Amino acid sequence: MTTVKNGIAQWWIVSRFTVITLACMLLAACEDSRKSSELGSGHDFGDNSSDVVVAFGDSITAGKYNDIPYPEHLATMIEKEVINSGVSGSVSSSGTDRIASVLMSTEPGFVVIMYGTNDAIHDYEVAQVIENLRAMVQACELNKSIPILCTLTPQTDWRIIFQDRVDDINAGIRTLAREEKVVLADVATAFIGRESLLIGEDNLHPNETGAFIIAETVAAVF
């Protein structure tokens, strides 16, 4: 009987050790898988910091009418330094003009690009807007920074007259992301069906909740 009990005890100890070992291996495998799936894993950032993100765009990025602009929410979500490089009223051509100096001064590992809303309002050619965005993407890649393209937030109420142009630019941004093999944060899709809840009283800029949704959508690609 004693021999049997000892055998059972040894079997239980070995089995428990095996289960614990397998559990540890699975956890380690999951952790490795998570790390390998993180945006930028294995990327050569050169002199740039993988812990620095530049949010590049217009007043929607700058945070007009928001106490907390989306880049601030994003910094908390992804635990990286997020530099707000939004300029109110700017169009995509101004983004191409200043991208080089921003890359040089901030040395970011990642650049979130959200441009085109003011282009739509001014009725600029969609093809040219997309080429301006392409130039920004390529400048980032040349700098060894990882670009992230964003589709645009909707416009509501009387500004709905500009929405067709916004939709055309968004279609071009999605195509550009595929052509350049760039990560896309599809902000436009995240706003579908709740535009009136996420856009502020000026019918153009996201409200506080809208800014949070933009950040959440961008954070998901990391």
CB burial readout 57-92, b (16+ within 10 A) else e: bbbbbbbbbbeebbbbbbbebbebebbbbbbeebbb
How far is it, in rounded angstroms, from Cα 184 to Cα 192? 16
Do the beta carbons of residue 121 and residue 131 sit within 8 Å?
no
Token pair in block for residue 139: 């400048």
> What pTM value is reported for the model?
0.84
* pLDDT (tens place) for every residue of the chain, 222 residues total: 544 444 444 444 334 434 333 333 334 444 444 445 799 999 999 999 999 999 999 999 999 888 899 999 999 999 999 999 999 999 999 999 999 999 999 999 999 999 999 999 999 999 999 999 999 999 999 999 999 999 999 999 999 999 999 999 999 999 999 999 999 999 999 999 999 999 999 999 999 999 999 999 999 999
DSSP 31-78: HHHHHHHSTTTT---TTSEEEEEEEEESHHHHTTT-SS-HHHHHHHHH
Q: Where do the structural domains in the chain lie, given as residue ranges?
A: 1-37, 49-221
Provide the token pair at 20: 């614990």
Task: Please state which of the four CATH numbers 3.90.870.10, 3.40.50.1110, 3.40.50.360, 3.40.640.10 is assigned to the domain occupying 49-221.
Answer: 3.40.50.1110
DSSP characters over 68-120: S-HHHHHHHHHTSEEEEEE-TT--HHHHHHHHHHHHHHH-EEEEEEE--HHHH
